[in-house]
Structure 1
Amino acid sequence: MANNQIAWGIIGCGDVCEIKSGPAFNKVDRSTLVAVMRRDVAKAEDFARRHHVPRFYGDAGELINDKAVNAIYVATPPSTHEYYTEEALKAGKPVYVEKPVTVNAATCERMIALAKKYNNKVSVAHYRRELPLFKTVKSLLEKGTIGNIRLVRISVLQQPNHKYTNAEHAWRLDPDLAGGGLFHDLSPHQLDILCWLFGEPKFSTGRSLNQSRSYNAPDITSVELGFEKNILMQGVWAFNVAENSREDVCEIIGDQGKLRFSFFMNSDLQVITAAGTQVMPMEFPVNIQLPMIEAVTKYFRGDGPNPCSLEDALVSMRIMDKTLQTS
């Protein structure tokens, strides 16, 4: 596929594709969105019409076997990622798969084996790796701006979101479809960035609880990780607090200062040292996956490295598995 145009087909053109990812495929050099699929074919047709996509399907097999499509983006609930990835790889087409990559580590391990079996490329949509905010954080850490890293603190506190109880969004709260509720949906963003910054953790502990009993998945989770150089991470994800307690904060604390930023909200990066507080303006792209899709397209064309491999994603999956096993 080197130097060729990447002609994308999307399996599962739901909410995530409307702004975060879908429009980006036509904004990247040598990349075009040519087909979309959704089981509700009327919704697939509506998406195609609004986004000027020439083909739409109600059957994934038809999209995968469309000769005009040479790369697949899997944007369905996690429980189906392994199946659609295998079908695409069988057809000789590389795959960009949404996060969380699947429902558990064992399934991710099977996907790794499939990529090797079919000798094709798979990238995972841990797209924060390519955003300016997190690239800046990585650069500052590498420069030693805040000295030796001692502690990372993450706090994600949200009030109950009733949209997740309606039929279209309820899959996120179904452990069979999504793994571990909203922790499984959101924490891969943070866990992946931590492993990207500090490497695979040396130990992992945690606990998930269902405090409110509003649904079958946990609604509060704590995680503690230990990295090389005795760097400690403490994180909590709670989806059952009052609106006035809402929080999205990450602090990376060193022996000469700290970095402070948000993962999900547009916010500035604060660099706090003995010299004072430097505020670095940061803003997420409107199509937040655009930089990642550009990197994945280059990888599929043979012009760059894999920005996030299945092996990378497996590290986060193992952390989540271990945490949920103690719920």
Structure 2
Amino acid sequence: MQEVKWGMIGCGDVTEVKSGPAFNKVPNSSLVAVMRRDGAKAADYAFRHGVPKWYTDAEELINDPEVNAIYIATPPAQHEDYCRLALAAGKPVYVEKPMTLNAESGLRMEADSVLYDTKLTVAHYRRAQPMFLKIKALLEQGVIGEVRFATLQMLQPQESDIIANSATNWRLDPAISGGGLFHDLAPHQLDLMVYFFGAFSQSAGLSLNQTGKTRVDDLVTGHIQFKNGVVFTGTWCFSVAEQDKTDICEIIGSRGKISFPVFGNKVVVKREGKEEVFVFDPLEHVQQPMIEKVTAYFLGQAENPCSAAQAILSMELMDSFTRPAEICQ
């Protein structure tokens, strides 16, 4: 393979700016086909983005001889089936986050990648963005000393504007999304914790539907102990007042702390009575740095920027936070 010629399964709103156009802006990469079950919408997307082919059937796109790699951008419920079809066809796969509905499903996807000896990468694209690369570098440089613990608060009103618009709010159908806005946003945040701190030894949490206005839980708390001794505590609530919405992660060390929003562009480092602020320019296409890394990986020029095994860790964490609690008698 000398050029990655992408076929994209699912071309909804999330692909309009975040990912879709970036495939044609990365060296040795081009988007040659898209698929959506609604033919009119598939054709419209292809026309507007200059994509040569469009399909209404995923298997037809996968089996197109010109397509040599697959990007899966459907809701999570369809990730496993499409991924396994593509891997069986020998086409490397770049699949959106969350990787799938749960860790068990992710393990099946990983097993097929091994079985068919075909590459699989998960779109935890913040790993490739300059802001989070800077945070990782600061941690590795010991700027705040030895890391003790990290805290995260993601508090949003019920009508949150932090996610991409969709014609239908499938995120509130647990059979499709896995479990509401938590399953849509937490993969970014939990994957960053794995990216920064590595494997974990134990995790637990609580999840409940406080408002009862939807079929998904709107409050989730979680705790993680990483194998390196770092402890994480997170709270996600999607029913707070507008003035109380918050997106903040703090990493506390022996000499200071690093504070940042996961969905923002400013990093604040406080240590020894001094404050340093790093502000990052917004990216036109937030996935472009990751797509560059995935393309290089598929071409055999780089390591996997986010393997199935790494992504399964964040799936396991979400499962442990949202697993129904045992009732004590």
Cα gap change, 1:167 to 1:122, in 2 (>3 Å): closer
What residue in structure 2 maps to residue 322 of structure 1? 320
Query: What is the distance in 1 between the residues matched to 2:133 and 2:324?
Result: 33
What residue in structure 2 maps to residue 72 of structure 1? 70
Please list the CA deviations of residues 131-175 of structure 1 after superposition, one character each: whole Å capped at 9, or x if unmatched. 0111101110111100011120101111112789x9833221111
Equivalent runs, 1:1-327 vs 2, <5 Å: 1=1, 4-161=2-159, 168-265=167-264, 267-326=265-324
Query: What is the distance in 2 between the residues matched to 1:315 and 1:29?
Result: 31
Query: What is the distance in 2 between the residues matched to 1:30 and 1:275?
Result: 48
Q: Which structure 1 segments of 5+ residues have no match?
A: none
Q: State the secondary structure of the residue aligned to 1:205.
A: strand
TM-score normalised by L of structure 1: 0.96
Cα gap change, 1:64 to 1:229, in 2 (>3 Å): closer
Tell me which amino acid in the other structure corresponds to 1:200.
Answer: A
The alpha-carbon deviation at position 238 of structure 1 amounts to 0.8
The alpha-carbon deviation at position 93 of structure 1 amounts to 0.6
The alpha-carbon deviation at position 322 of structure 1 amounts to 1.2
Query: What is the distance in 2 between the residues matched to 1:230 and 1:310?
Result: 24
Q: Is the 1:131–1:284 contact (alpha carbons within 8 Å) kept by the matching residues of 2?
A: no
Q: Is the 2:202–2:225 contact (alpha carbons within 8 Å) kept by the matching residues of 1?
A: yes
Cα RMSD for the two superposed structures = 1.4
Q: State the secondary structure of the residue aligned to 1:49.
A: helix
Q: State the secondary structure of the residue aligned to 1:83.
A: helix
Tell me which amino acid in the other structure corresponds to 2:215.
Answer: N
Query: What is the distance in 1 between the residues matched to 2:293 and 2:236?
Result: 29
Q: Is the 1:124–1:308 contact (alpha carbons within 8 Å) kept by the matching residues of 2?
A: yes
Please list the CA deviations of residues 298-324 of structure 1 after superposition, one character each: whole Å capped at 9, or x if unmatched. 000000000001110111111111111
Cα gap change, 1:61 to 1:321, in 2 (>3 Å): same
Query: What is the distance in 2 between the residues matched to 1:276 and 1:97?
Result: 41
Question: How many pairs were matched up?
Answer: 323
Q: Is the 2:90–2:116 contact (alpha carbons within 8 Å) kept by the matching residues of 1?
A: yes
Query: What is the distance in 1 between the residues matched to 2:44 and 2:227?
Result: 49
Q: Is the 2:13–2:166 contact (alpha carbons within 8 Å) kept by the matching residues of 1?
A: no
Tell me which amino acid in the other structure corresponds to 2:53.
Answer: R
Query: What is the distance in 1 between the residues matched to 2:278 and 2:233?
Result: 25
Q: State the secondary structure of the residue aligned to 1:202.
A: strand
Cα gap change, 1:264 to 1:162, in 2 (>3 Å): closer
Tell me which amino acid in the other structure corresponds to 1:110.
Answer: R
Query: What is the distance in 1 between the residues matched to 2:109 and 2:17?
Result: 27
Query: What is the distance in 2 between the residues matched to 1:48 and 1:242?
Result: 40
Q: State the secondary structure of the residue aligned to 2:235.
A: strand
Please list the CA deviations of residues 83-129 of structure 1 after superposition, one character each: whole Å capped at 9, or x if unmatched. 10111112211000000000011100110111111110000000000
Q: Is the 2:31–2:51 contact (alpha carbons within 8 Å) kept by the matching residues of 1?
A: yes
TM-score normalised by L of structure 2: 0.95
Q: Is the 1:126–1:189 contact (alpha carbons within 8 Å) kept by the matching residues of 2?
A: yes
Cα gap change, 1:119 to 1:290, in 2 (>3 Å): same
Cα gap change, 1:162 to 1:268, in 2 (>3 Å): closer
